[in-house]
Structure 1
């Protein structure tokens, strides 16, 4: 029995030969098969494309005479090119187009058939591109405004996106989304971000989004975003404006003019003298102060009397002579 099957298959292969027996294609794409056949025996026979795991269960999807009408009719075709062979073309491929298919030639008693394995996969993703949804040239982040960065691939089907944050040699998953929203509450420190794009057959990473935080705050923060291919900018104007409008704290010395410094110096000297005088008499009892002043007054009176007596004695001496 096995020998009979092998002989039958060998005979069929001599009557019908195709350029491939396994097909791999992508969703949304197409494939083409060309099969040569014995034109002396089957030049005017019907050729068809069918689906099924075996010859007996194969369902005809489309044929060369346009008789079969199925869901494949609008996106598949069987062209009989005569001596050029039979050509099968299937376009707009879907995920469920994977399976076992056959190309056959109508023949009395037993059709000539060859099977194919069709595998439909997702289109591999390309490297995702990054761009801000609001222009960085306007420096929105210098004034604490949020910025949304979008991640998208030019190629790929069934693509899923995810954003990661890179901090201290570690990667942290932030969200499964193509858009990343950056705002004051989210950018508390310098960080790097990147997105991944993946599907069932491939995965790619984007370039890095670098965020430099110049002044963290819940509102009106200042930060700079660097994205490859986007304009570079800084927040120097915003930083200088912020510095000028920041109120003085206890750690900041106020700026004074030269005249103000001179006035402050004079006031300081006068205050220092008053403080020294106050310190000199601080803690002295009242009786001690009165005694000192009384002693000084008595000394002055005695000196005055001695001086008058000395002067009177000199006058009397001059009269005796």
Structure 2
């Protein structure tokens, strides 16, 4: 018997046909689901310059008929935010620092993943700067609206996140600088370059 499903549970009969005697025996078949293993989270989408969306995936290597749910850590109880294995994070929806996790479950058991921490440094109204960290994995820091190249590396987060959520990203960095200071420096450099270019254009036209 191959490719059995839960509906195949039941009593089966095996018959041996012999001259002048038919031998029958009963076989009771019970089909049960495989327990789920601890779900693992990964960044499904790569960082983008625009920081429009970052997707985190949750997957359990073992288990049949697995159902996935994403939760936001909250008091007095956690709040479900997504009923699928993939959670897409949008900058506009990140109003505060949060912590997220996913669960994998079936009729046999239920397992929870490690935390995904989201640290909102500047909200969406102020260019949206935030950092996303999967426990014991890499982190992403996003500066929305600033076109900067992606820097790959590792980052060990030592602080504790007090909430859970999702996020977008333009870079993975090692020991990221203060995002606000970085943004101010970028804006100053940009305007200085613009003013220099404007002066050069005026001088060239006068010549």
Q: TM-score, normalised by structure 1?
A: 0.43
Q: 1:175–1:134: structure 2 CA closer, same or farther, 3 Å change rule?
A: closer
The equivalent of 1:211 in structure 2 is: 118
Q: Which has the higher helix share?
A: 1
Q: 1:236–1:93: structure 2 CA closer, same or farther, 3 Å change rule?
A: same
The equivalent of 1:156 in structure 2 is: 63
Larger Rg: 1
Any residues of structure 2 matched to 1:10-29 within 5 Å, and which?
none
Matched, 1:240 2:181: yes
The equivalent of 1:5 in structure 2 is: none
SS at structure 1 position matched to 2:94: coil
Which of 80, 84, 87 is the equivalent residue of 1:180?
Answer: 87
Deviation of residue 134 (structure 1)?
3.0
Aligned residues between the structures = 154
Structure 1 runs of 4+ aligned residues shifted over 6 Å read none
Which of 78, 85, 91 is the equivalent residue of 2:2?
Answer: 91
**Structure 2 residue ranges without an equivalent (≥5):** 139-154, 156-172, 189-207
Matched, 1:132 2:43: yes
Deviation of residue 110 (structure 1)?
4.7
Deviation of residue 169 (structure 1)?
5.0
The equivalent of 2:160 in structure 1 is: none
Counterpart Cα distance in 2 of 1:235 and 1:146: 20
The answer as to whether partners of 1:222 and 1:235 remain within 8 angstroms in 2 is no
**Structure 1 residue ranges without an equivalent (≥5):** 1-89, 248-321
Identify which of structures 1 and 2 has the higher relative contact order when contacts are C-alpha pairs closer than 8 Å and 6+ apart: 2
Deviation of residue 94 (structure 1)?
2.5
The equivalent of 1:230 in structure 2 is: 137
